[in-house]
Structure 1
Amino acid sequence: MTTLQDTRVRVIGEPRLLAGFDLGRLDRQRHHWTHGTQPDLTRETYTRLAESVGLRGRGGAAFPVALKLADLPARGIAAVVVNGAESEPVSRKDRLLLTVAPHLVLDGAVGLARALGAPHVLIAVHDAVAATSVREAIVERDDGVAIEVSDTPGRFVAGEARAVLSALEGGPAVPPGRRVLPTRKGYHRRPTFLSNVETFAQLAVLARLGSKGFSSTGLISEPGTQLLTIAGAVRQPGVIETPTGVPLDTVLQFAGAEPGPVLLGGYHGRWPARTDGLTLQRPDASAGIILALGSDTCPLGEVHRVAGWLASQSAGQCGPCVFGLAALVDDFGRLVRGEPAGWHDAQRHLGLVPGRGACAHPDGSARFLASALEVFGEDVRLHLGGGGGCGRPVRGVLPVPGGEW
C-alpha cells in the first residue's frame, strides 16, 4: 500500500492549494510566507464570495457552499466541522492537505467559525500522521476559537457526514437512519457547518484572492482549482492540482496512464463509456478520484473484488446494504464464472437496492456496479460465451485495503 510519504504531488497550471509544497510541511511561518495572512470576513462576505464563484463542497456530494451557509440560522451554531475522515481507499488529497498544509485548512475553518459565531472547530481525522500534523499546527496558533482533533475509524461508511458527527459525539461512526441536514441538526442536534478538508482550504484561498482573483483560472461556472488523486494503471500515481474543467485525457497523459477504462469518483463513482472530450467537473470530479484500469486485467474480476470489499464495509443497519450488497457480490461472482443467471440476478438486484438504504452506501455501490455492467458489455459477453472468460487474470489494479496500490 502506498503511504502518504510516497505520494507524488504535481500541478497542472499555477498551484494554489499546493503552493509551497516543495518546501515540505508548511509551519506557521512558511504558511504566511506562501499564502499571506488570512483576512477576517463576515458571514455575508463568505456567502457572497462562495455564491459568486459557485463554490461547491469538494467531497462526494458537491453541495453549494453558499446554500449551506444560507440554511444556517442567524445564531446558535454549535460548531464548524472539518471532515478529514477520508475513508475512500484511493483518495489521498485531504490527508495530504492536513499533513503538509494544515494552516490553510485551519484558516478556512477558523475564519468561517468566527464569521458564524461558532465557538468550536472540530476536526475528524482517521490518519495518524495527518492528525499529528494538525495538532502541531494548533499549538502554533492563537485563534481565540476552541479547536479539537478527534480520531475516527477508517471504515468506508465512517466518512459519511452523519457518521462523523456521531463519532464526534462519542457514538459509533456509522450513519444514523434519519437523514437530517447538519445545518438543521448537526453536532449535538444543533446547527452545524460541516464540509470536507479541501473545501476549507478553498475557502481560505477564496478569502485571500477574492472572487476576481479566484476566478482567473478554471471554468466560468465553477472557477478555481481542484485536487485529484490518480491511481491504478499509471506510471505516476499521486495527487494533482489542476484548474477545474481540465480535460480528463490531459490528466491521464500527465500521469502516464495506460490505455483502458477509467473510473471516476472512486468506489461510489462511475465508469464513463469514453474519456475523449470529457472534462473534469462536478459531479464526476466531486470526490476527486481517477482510477485507470489498463487493459491487461479482467475488468469484471476487478469489479467483483471491489464489490466484496464494499459489502464488507456495510454499517449493518438496513436490508439493502446487508443483504442487497451481499447478493450482488454473489451475482458478480457467478457472472465472472460464466453463469448467465449471475448476470440476470445482478440486473434484478441493482433495481432493488437504490433509494432504500439508511445511508448513501448502497446507492453509491449500486451505481458503481451498474455502470460497470454498462461499460463492460463486451467483457460480459466473453464471460457468458462459454469460452472461459476474457482470458485475463485479475491483477488487483483497483486498490482495496490490504491489497497493493
Structure 2
Amino acid sequence: MKTLLATSVIGDARLLAGVERGRLDRQNHLWTHGAPPDLTRANYQQLCEAVGLKGRGGAAFPVARKLADLPDRGVEAVVVNGSESEPLSRKDRLLLSLAPHLVLDGATGLARALGAPHVLIAVHDAESAQSMREAILERDDRLAIEVTETPDRFVAGEARAVLSALEGGPAVPPGRKVLPTRQGYHRRPTFLSNVETFAQLAVLARLGARGFSATGLSTAPGTQLLTVDGAVQRPGVIETPTGIPLDTVLQFAGAEPGPVLLGGYHGRWLSQPVPLDGASIVVALGSATCPLGEVYQVAQWLSAQSAGQCGPCVFGLASLVDDFARLLHGDVNGWYDAQRHLGLIPGRGACAHPDGAARFLTSALQVFDDDVRRHLGGGCGRPVLGVLPVPGGVA
C-alpha cells in the first residue's frame, strides 16, 4: 500500500480545502464546500466548454467532447477510475482517502444529469475502498454506487482494463480500441474518467465558470494536483494554480539541483525546467544517485508489468532491459541496440504501455548522456539509492 504524503497548497485550496484536518466526513465536507447544485447534462457540458476542462488522468482529453460523444439516452454508467497504478502518483488516492465526498459529488451529479443508473468506483487499495464505502453510507444518492478493488498492476489502471475488471474479467487492456463513450461497461455507453476529474467537476459545479476561472491559466483555468517526490525536502501532494512554473514548484518543495522526471514512468526526463503542461508528477533525481542505474531498475519493473498481449511489450521491453544492463556495465553495443529497439516500439503495441515505457527510456538516454559516457568509460562511481521507487523491488 502506498503511504499518503503530506499535503500543501500554493494559492487558494479548492480540492484540498479542509483536508489538513484529516478525512472529511459528509458533515465537514458540506461545511467546507457547501451543498452541490443539481445540474443538467447541458449545464455540465456548457461549464466544461467554458473553462476548457480536461481529464486529469494523463491523456488530458476534453471533458466536454467526452460528454458530447455520449448518446442522448442509454448511458449505462459513470465510472471513477481510482486505479492509480503509477508508482510515483498519490493525488487520486489522497482524494479518495481524505476528500471522498468531493469525488462522489462529481460522479453522482454527472450520473443523474446523464440518466446513468450506476456509479462504479475502481480502486487498488483497501484504504481508499474503505473510505469510499464509508462515504457512500453517509449519503443518500438514490443511485447504485459500487466500489470494486482492482489488481495493483501498472496496466490495470488503463481505462479498458478497468472496465474489464469491473465486469469480472482480467484487468488488462483488450486489443480492441473502442471508446468507453461508445462501448464501455457491459458494452454500453459509459462516462469514465479519473478521480481528480470528478473532484474538479464538483468544484466547477459549485463555483461556475467565472469563479472556477479566477485562478490559473486563461486557456485552462483552475487548480491542479501535483505529486512531488524524490530529492526534495518537502515531498507531498501540492495543489497549485494551472500554469505554475516548474521552477516555482521545485523551489517550494526544496528540490536538489539535477534532472527532473515529469509524468512518472510513462513520462519524460528534463535537463532544464519547462512549463508543466498538464504533468501531475514531478520527481527530482538529485545528484547523489546513479541515473542510469535508477532507470535500469525502472526498466526491469516496466517489463515485468507487461500484459503479455503483443510483441512490442513482451519482447521489446525485455530487449531494452538487456540493452540497458549492458550499457550500465560499459558495453557500447548496449547503447546502439537500445537506440534501435526504442525506434521499433512506439505505435505498435496493443495498449499505451510500450509507448510510455519507450518515451521514459528515450528521454533518459538523451538527458543522461554524460552519465552514459561515464559508464562506457568505466562507471559513474555513484550508488543506486532508489530515488525512483519500484514496487516489490526488482530481481
| Structure-1-length-normalised TM-score | 0.96
Q: How does 1:249-288 map to 2 (within 5 A)?
A: 249-275=247-273, 278-282=274-278, 285=279, 288=280
Conserved 8 A contact 2:223-2:240? yes
- Equivalence for 2:83: 85
The answer to whether the Cα contact below 8 Å between 2:124 and 2:151 also exists between their aligned partners in 1 is yes
Partner of 1:344: 336
Asked whether the equivalents of residues 258 and 271 of structure 2 are also in contact (C-alpha less than 8 Å), the reply is no
Amino acid at match of 1:306: V
Q: How far 1:403 moved relative to its partner?
A: 5.1
Q: How much does 1:269 deviate?
A: 0.2
Give, as a single letter, the amino acid of the residue that structure 2 aligns with 1:78.
E
Contact 1:232/1:399 (8 A) holds in 2: no
1:216-253 deviation line (CA, Å, top 9, x unaligned): 00001100000000111111111000000111111111
Secondary structure at the counterpart of residue 290 of structure 1:
strand
CA distance in 1, matches of 2:86, 2:140: 33
Q: Partner residue of 1:215?
A: 213
Q: 1:378 aligned to 2:370?
A: yes
* Matched AA of 1:174: V
Q: Residue deviations 1:31-55, cap 9 Å, x none?
A: 0000000001111110110011110
Q: Take 1:213 and 1:89, find their aligned partners in 2: how far apart are those partners? A: 34
SS in structure 2 at match of 1:83: strand
Q: Distance in 1 between matches of 2:14 and 2:103?
A: 13
Q: State whether structure 2 residue 316 is matched by structure 1 residue 324.
A: yes
Secondary structure of the equivalent of 2:156? Answer: helix
1:104 aligned residue (95, 102, 105): 102
User: Counterparts of 1:401 and 1:195 in 2: how far apart (Å)?
Assistant: 25
1:71 aligns with 2:63: no
1:231 to 224, 229, 232: 229
With 245-254 and 360-369 compared, the bigger mean Cα shift is at: 245-254
1:393 aligns with 383
**1:73-128 per-position Cα deviation (integer Å, ceiling 9, x unaligned):** 11111100000000111111001001111000000000000000000000001111
Match of 1:153, SS?
A: coil
Please tell me whether the aligned partners of residues 7 and 20 of structure 2 are also in contact (alpha carbons under 8 angstroms).
no
Aligned length: 394
Contact 1:396 1:403 in 2 (8 A): no
Matched to 1:343, the amino acid is W
Instruction: Please give the per-residue CA displacement for 1:239-268, whole angstroms capped at 9, x wherever unaligned.
Output: 000000111111111111111100000000
In 1, the alpha carbon distance for the partners of 2:393 and 2:156 equals 20
Are the aligned partners of 1:94 and 1:198 in contact in 2 as well (CA < 8 Å)? yes
Paired residue for 1:139?
137
* 2: CA distance, partners of 1:295 / 1:71: 47
3-state secondary structure, aligned to 2:268: coil
Partner residue, 1:43 = 41
Q: 2:30 aligns with which of 14, 29, 32?
A: 32
User: Unmatched 5+ residue regions in structure 1?
Assistant: none
Distance in 1 (CA, whole Å) between partners of 2:20 and 2:312 is 46
Alpha carbon RMSD of aligned pairs, Å? 1.1
2:246 maps to what in 1?
248
> What residue number does 1:363 align with?
355
Q: Which of the residues 287, 295, 301 maps onto 1:303?
A: 295
What SS does the corresponding residue of 1:271 show, helix, strand or coil? strand
The Cα shift of 1:383 comes to: 1.5
Q: Which amino acid aligns with 1:209?
A: L
Say yes or no: does 1:205 pair with 2:200: no
Structure 2, unmatched stretches of 5+, are none
Aligned-pair distance for 1:390?
1.4
Letter in structure 2 aligned against 1:280? L
User: Structure 1 stretches (4+) deviating beyond 6 angstroms?
Assistant: none
Q: Secondary structure at the match of 2:57?
A: coil
Separation (CA, whole Å) in 2 of partners of 1:280 and 1:244? 9
Q: 1:279 offset after TM fit, Å?
A: 2.4
